[in-house]
C-alpha cells in the first residue's frame, strides 16, 4: 500500500477558511441564542425575572421552561446528561441552562442574558467527591460488568513473596476542543434541519428524532467538519435540543454556540478517580495476584462509569485477578468519555503499581513486564487477536537506550538536574461498530465516496482515498470523499478509536462490489470497464459490522482484542525548584495495520501530548462551597504547548489484525494518550526517589523529602 506521506485533501479548505463548521453556516433571518445558566449546584428554580432582558435591544424572545416543548426522556448515553435542561424546576448541576435568550445578534443575546435574574430555593451544600457513598452504577453498557474476578486474589496476595498496595488518584479534566460545540437549527414544516458540531451524525439524528418524537428521516444532521471533540461531542448535549426547541418556538433558525465557559459545564469532562491497586509476586517477579478497586466522581443524576479497572483484566498474566468499579454521585456537571477514557486514568494506577513492584523486587521494570506476558487473555482465557506488547517494549527499550539505565533512584544527576528514566505499557480496548459507505463511479472514471461520518481532524478523507486506491488500484487523487451528512450511509461515529477500521472496511466492501459488478480487476481503468458494461454510472453500498457473535462494541466473543504500546520517558527535575521537564521520549505502538502512516503518527504524538497534560498540568478543581469548576477558561486550565514536548520518537511495530476487521487496522486515536502519565511519574520517581501517586504531579510533590 503506497500511503507513505499521504496528504490531507481537506487541508487546503481548512487552511484557507473555506471549510465550513457548524457556526459558520449562513442562514437567513437566523436568531442568535445565548443561554442563562444556573449559578447553584442543586435546589430548585424559585423565580425567573426576564422583564429587563425582554426589553433589551434586539431581543426577540426570552424562553423559559414554560415556553419549551416537553421532550421524550432518554438515558445517558445517548444523552450526555440524562436530565435535559428546561424540562423541570430542579437544578441538576451548576451551569445548567435555565433560560434561552434569542436576539438579532450574538452580542445582543449575550447582553440580555446577563440581565435575567434568578432566585433559587432548597439549595444545600454541594456533595464533593470523597464525601458521597460509593454506588454500583448501571452496568448495561459496561464491558465485562463493573466487577470481574478470576481465581482467589486474597490467597494470591497472602502467598506472594512481595506485595505492593497503593492508592492513586487522577484529576477532573476537560476536553476543550478548539471549536466549541454549536448548533444551527431550523424547521421546514415537520422536518428538522441541524448543522451541528458532533462526533456522530447518526447518533445526533437518532437521538434528536427520539427526543422530538419524529421519525429519524425527518431529522437531517449536517456536519462535514468538527473542530475537535475528544469525547465532548460524542453524546447529545443540551445545545442540540435547546437550539431545535428554540427554533420551533420562535419560527426562525436559531444559532446556539457554546461559550468557552459553557464547554466546562455542558459537554462533559473526565471525572476524578481514586484507585487502589494491590499486586502480589514471587521473588522472580511472577504475579500471584492483581486487585484493582476504583471509584470515580459522577453527576448527581448520572452514573457515568470511568471504567479504569478494565485493562487490568487483560494486560498481565496472573492466576488471580479481581476488579471492582464504583461511582459517587456528587454535585457537579456530568462527566463523559474523554480521550482516552477508562484506560487513560486506569493505566496510570496499574503501571505505577507495576513500577513500584519492580523496585520492591529489584527487577528491571521492562523485564518485569516481559515476565508477566500472558499467552491468552488472563480473565477470559480467549486468544488474543493480535498482541505485540513485547515487541513494543523491546523495540522501545532498544531505541531509548534503556540498557544504559542505572537502576537506583537519584543516581543519574547532571549538574543541578536529577535525571530519571521511566517506562509504562499502554493498551486500549478495540471498540467496533457497524459501518456503511457508498462508492459511485462516473463515466469519466471519477470515484465518489459518501459517508455520514464527519472529518474531525483525524484525516478521514485521506484514509478513505487510500482504501479505495488500494482496492481499485487507482490513484488516491481520483477519489472524492463527501462526508458528514445524515443523508449519507451511517456510521457509529468518531468515538472509541473505531472510525478508520469501521468506515475503511465498509468502503473496501463497497469498492470491491463495484469491481465485482464490472467484472474488473484492481488497476483496470474504471471508465473503460463502465463503458464495456454499457453503463454511465455505477454505485454500491458497502457494509461492515463486527462478527455476529460479538458480545458488544468493544469485546469480541472469540478474541481478546486490544491495541498496545510502550512508553519510555526521560525527565529532568530541577533539584532545587522541583520543576519537571520532559527531555525526550520514545514510544512504540501496535495497533493493527496502519492505513495512513502520516496521520497515524500525528494521532500518536497528539495522544502523547494529552498524556503529558494529564501527568503534569491538567486539573479542573471544584469549588467545594459553590459546587462549580473553578476555572472555566483556558487561562486557568493548563495545557501542554509544543515547547513542553521536545524530541518525541513515536513509531509503530509491525501488526496486522484480520480478526478485528478485513483491513487489519485497529484504533489509534486514544492509544497514544495511555501510559504516558505513568511513564512520566515513574521517571520522576527514578529521578528523585519521590513516588507521586496523585495527578497532576505538582512541584510540592516533587520537592518533599523522599
Ligand atoms: Mo472518544 S473519548 O470515544 O471521543
Average pLDDT, whole number, for the chain? 94
Percentage of residues in the chain having pLDDT higher than 70: 97
pLDDT at 553 over 80: no
> Are 608 and 601 in contact, with CB atoms under 8 Å apart?
no
pLDDT at 5 over 80: no
Q: pLDDT class for 259, splitting at 50, 70, 90?
A: very high
Q: Which of 176, 181, 234, 553 to mutate to test the pocket of ligand 1 (most atoms within 8 A of CB)?
A: 234
> Are 288 and 282 in contact, with CB atoms under 8 Å apart?
yes
Q: Are strands 254-257 and 31-37 parallel, antiparallel or unpaired?
A: parallel
| Dist CA 522 CA 515 (whole Å) | 8
| Dist CA 464 CA 459 (whole Å) | 9
Q: Are strands 273-281 and 287-298 parallel, antiparallel or unpaired?
A: antiparallel
Structure confidence at residue 143 (pLDDT)? 60
Ligand 1 atom closest to 199 (CA): 4
Q: pLDDT class for 556, splitting at 50, 70, 90?
A: confident
298 CA to centre of ligand 1 in angstroms: 17
Percentage of residues in the chain having pLDDT higher than 90: 91
| Dist CA 294 CA 544 (whole Å) | 35
| Dist CA 365 CA 399 (whole Å) | 16
337 CA to centre of ligand 1 in angstroms: 5
Mean pLDDT (whole number) for 678-693 = 97
Structure confidence at residue 138 (pLDDT)? 73
Note if 670 is an active site residue.
yes
Tell me if 230 CB under 6 Å of ligand 1: yes
| Dist CA 29 CA 22 (whole Å) | 16
Tell me if 234 CB under 6 Å of ligand 1: yes
| Dist CA 569 CA 614 (whole Å) | 14
pLDDT at 169 over 70: yes
> Are 559 and 385 in contact, with CB atoms under 8 Å apart?
yes
Q: Residues 519, 521, 526, 527: is their CA dihedral positive or negative?
A: negative
306 CA to centre of ligand 1 in angstroms: 12
Question: Which residue CA neighbors atom 4 of ligand 1 most closely?
Answer: 231
| Dist CA 107 CA 112 (whole Å) | 8
Structure confidence at residue 2 (pLDDT)? 42
Ligand 1 atom closest to 431 (CA): 3
DSSP string, 418-486: EEEEEEEEEEEE-----EEEEEEEETTS-EEEEESPPB-SS-HHHHHHHHHHHHHT--GGGEEEEE-BT
Taking only the tens place, the pLDDT of each residue in 359-374 is 999 999 999 999 999 9
Closest residue by Cα to residue 35 from 85, 98, 90: 98
Q: Which helix (H) or strand (E) holds 598?
A: helix 597-616
Tell me if 223 CB under 6 Å of ligand 1: no
| Dist CA 171 CA 297 (whole Å) | 10
Rg of the chain over Cα atoms, rounded to whole angstroms, equals: 26
615 CA to centre of ligand 1 in angstroms: 19
Catalytic residue selected from 398, 654, 670, 705? 670
Tell me if 226 CB under 6 Å of ligand 1: no
- Helices 597-616, 343-361: inter-axial angle, 10-degree rounding: 70
625 CA to centre of ligand 1 in angstroms: 31
Tell me if 433 CB under 6 Å of ligand 1: no
pLDDT at 3 over 70: no
pLDDT at 235 over 70: yes
Closest residue by Cα to residue 27 from 210, 193, 268, 218: 193
Taking only the tens place, the pLDDT of each residue in 127-137 is 999 999 999 88
Taking only the tens place, the pLDDT of each residue in 462-484 is 999 999 999 999 999 999 999 99
Cis status, amide bond into 340, omega within 30 of 0: yes
Mean pLDDT (whole number) for 640-665 = 93
499 CA to centre of ligand 1 in angstroms: 11
Q: Which of 495, 500, 667 to mutate to test the pocket of ligand 1 (most atoms within 8 A of CB)?
A: 495
Taking only the tens place, the pLDDT of each residue in 193-205 is 999 999 999 999 9
199 CA to centre of ligand 1 in angstroms: 9
Tell me if 199 CB under 6 Å of ligand 1: yes
Cα–Cα–Cα angle for 297, 300, 305, rounded to 5 degrees: 40
Q: pLDDT class for 548, splitting at 50, 70, 90?
A: low
Q: Which of 232, 337, 668 to mutate to test the pocket of ligand 1 (most atoms within 8 A of CB)?
A: 337
Tell me if 80 CB under 6 Å of ligand 1: no
Structure confidence at residue 95 (pLDDT)? 97
336 CA to centre of ligand 1 in angstroms: 9
Spatial CB neighbours of 416, under 8 Å, sequence gap ≥ 6: 574, 575, 576
Tell me if 203 CB under 6 Å of ligand 1: no
* 296 beta partners: 273, 327
Residue 532: other Cβ atoms inside 10 A: 12
* 170 beta partners: 273
Ligand 1 atom closest to 230 (CA): 4
pLDDT at 1 over 90: no
Closest residue by Cα to residue 96 from 218, 267, 282: 267
Taking only the tens place, the pLDDT of each residue in 35-93 is 999 999 999 999 999 999 999 999 999 999 999 999 999 999 999 999 999 999 999 99
Tell me if 673 CB under 6 Å of ligand 1: no
Q: Which of 174, 203, 339 to mutate to test the pocket of ligand 1 (most atoms within 8 A of CB)?
A: 339
- Supply the DSSP symbol for 216: G
Residue 137: helix, strand or coil by DSSP?
Answer: coil
Structure confidence at residue 551 (pLDDT)? 60
pLDDT at 310 over 50: yes
Amino acid at each position: 500500500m503506497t500511503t507513505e506521506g499521504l496528504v490531507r485533501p481537506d487541508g487546503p479548505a481548512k487552511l484557507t477558511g473555506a471549510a465550513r463548521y457548524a457556526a459558520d453556516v449562513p442562514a437567513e433571518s437566523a436568531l442568535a441564542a445565548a443561554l442563562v445558566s444556573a449559578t447553584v449546584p442543586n435546589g430548585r428554580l424559585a423565580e425567573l425575572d426576564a422583564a429587563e432582558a425582554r426589553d433589551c435591544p434586539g431581543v426577540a424572545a426570552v424562553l423559559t421552561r414554560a415556553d419549551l416543548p416537553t421532550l421524550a426522556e432518554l438515558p445517558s448515553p445517548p444523552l450526555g446528561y440524562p436530565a435535559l435542561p428546561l424540562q423541570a424546576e430542579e437544578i441538576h448541576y451548576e451551569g445548567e441552562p435555565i433560560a434561552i435568550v434569542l436576539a438579532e445578534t450574538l452580542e445582543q443575546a449575550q447582553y440580555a442574558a446577563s440581565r435575567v435574574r434568578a432566585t433559587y430555593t432548597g439549595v444545600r451544600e454541594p456533595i464533593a467527591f470523597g464525601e458521597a457513598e460509593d454506588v454500583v452504577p448501571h452496568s448495561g453498557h459496561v464491558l465485562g460488568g463493573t466487577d470481574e474476578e478470576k481465581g482467589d486474589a486474597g490467597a494470591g496476595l497472602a502467598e506472594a513473596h512481595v506485595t505492593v498496595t497503593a492508592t492513586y488518584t487522577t484529576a477532573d479534566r476537560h476536553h476543550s476542543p478548539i471549536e466549541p460545540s454549536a448548533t444551527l437549527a431550523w424547521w421546514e414544516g415537520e422536518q428538522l434541519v441541524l448543522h451541528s458540531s458532533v462526533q456522530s451524525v447518526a447518533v445526533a439524528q437518532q437521538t434528536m428524532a427520539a427526543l422530538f418524537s419524529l421519525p429519524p428521516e425527518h431529522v437531517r444532521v449536517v456536519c462535514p467538519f468538527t473542530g475537535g471533540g475528544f469525547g465532548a461531542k460524542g453524546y447529545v448535549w443540551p445545545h442540540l435540543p435547546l437550539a431545535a426547541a428554540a427554533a420551533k418556538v420562535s419560527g426562525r433558525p436559531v444559532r446556539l454556540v457554546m461559550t468557552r465557559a459553557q464547554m466546562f459545564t455542558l459537554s462533559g469532562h473526565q471525572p476524578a478517580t481514586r484507585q487502589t491497586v494491590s499486586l502480589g509476586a514471587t521473588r522472580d517477579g511472577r504475579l500471584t495476584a492483581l486487585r484493582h478497586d476504583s471509584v470515580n466522581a459522577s453527576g448527581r443524576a448520572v452514573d457515568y462509569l470511568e471504567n479504569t479497572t478494565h485493562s487490568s483484566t487483560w494486560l498481565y498474566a496472573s492466576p488471580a485477578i479481581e476488579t471492582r468499579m464504583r461511582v459517587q454521585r456528587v454535585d457537579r456537571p456530568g462527566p463523559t468519555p474523554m480521550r482516552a477514557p477508562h484506560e487513560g486514568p486506569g493505566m496510570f494506577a496499574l503501571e505505577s503499581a507495576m513500577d513500584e513492584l519492580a523496585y520492591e523486587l529489584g527487577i528491571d521494570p521492562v523485564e518485569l513486564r516481559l515476565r508477566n506476558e500472558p499467552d491468552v487473555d488472563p480473565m477470559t482465557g480467549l486468544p488474543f487477536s493480535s498482541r505485540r506488547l513485547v515487541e513494543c517494549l523491546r523495540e522501545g527499550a532498544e531505541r531509548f537506550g534503556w540498557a544504559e539505565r542505572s537502576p537506583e533512584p537519584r543516581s543519574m544527576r547532571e549538574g543541578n538536574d536529577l535525571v530519571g528514566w521511566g517506562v509504562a505499557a499502554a493498551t486500549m480496548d478495540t471498540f467496533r461498530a457497524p459501518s456503511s459507505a457508498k462508492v459511485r463511479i462516473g463515466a469519466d472514471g471519477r470515484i465518489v465516496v459518501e459517508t455520514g461520518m464527519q472529518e474531525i481532524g483525524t484525516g478521514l478523507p485521506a484514509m478513505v482515498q487510500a482504501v479505495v486506491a488500494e482496492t481499485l488500484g487507482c490513484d488516491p487523487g481520483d477519489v472524492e470523499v463527501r462526508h458528514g451528512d445524515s443523508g449519507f450511509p451511517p456510521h457509529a461515529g468518531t468515538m472509541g478509536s473505531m472510525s478508520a477500521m469501521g468506515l475503511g472496511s465498509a468502503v473496501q466492501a463497497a469498492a470491491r462490489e463495484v469491481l465485482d459488478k464490472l467484472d474488473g480487476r484492481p488497476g483496470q481503468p474504471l471508465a473503460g470497464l463502465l463503458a464495456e458494461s454499457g453503463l454511465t454510472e455505477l454505485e454500491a453500498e458497502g457494509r461492515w459490522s463486527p462478527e455476529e457473535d460479538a458480545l458488544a462494541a468493544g469485546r469480541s466473543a472469540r478474541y481478546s482484542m486490544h491495541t498496545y504500546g510502550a512508553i519510555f520517558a526521560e525527565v529532568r527535575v530541577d533539584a532545587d525548584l522541583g520543576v519537571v521537564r520532559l527531555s525526550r521520549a520514545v514510544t512504540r505502538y501496535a495497533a493493527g495495520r496502519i492505513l495512513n502512516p502520516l496521520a497515524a503518527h500525528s494521532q500518536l504524538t497528539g495522544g502523547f501530548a494529552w498524556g503529558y497534560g494529564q501527568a503534569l498540568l491538567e486539573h479542573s478543581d471544584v469549588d467545594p462551597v459553590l459546587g462549580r469548576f473553578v476555572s472555566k477558561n483556558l487561562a486557568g486550565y493548563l495545557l501542554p504547548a509544543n515547547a513542553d514536548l521536545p524530541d518525541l520518537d513515536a513509531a509503530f511495530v509491525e501488526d496486522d489484525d484480520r480478526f478485528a476487521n478485513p483491513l487489519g487496522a485497529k484504533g489509534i486515536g486514544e492509544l497514544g494518550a495511555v501510559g504516558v502519565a505513568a511513564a512520566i511519574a515513574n521517571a520522576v520517581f527514578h529521578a528523585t526517589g519521590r513516588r507521586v501517586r496523585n495527578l497532576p504531579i505538582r512541584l510540592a510533590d516533587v520537592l518533599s523529602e523522599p
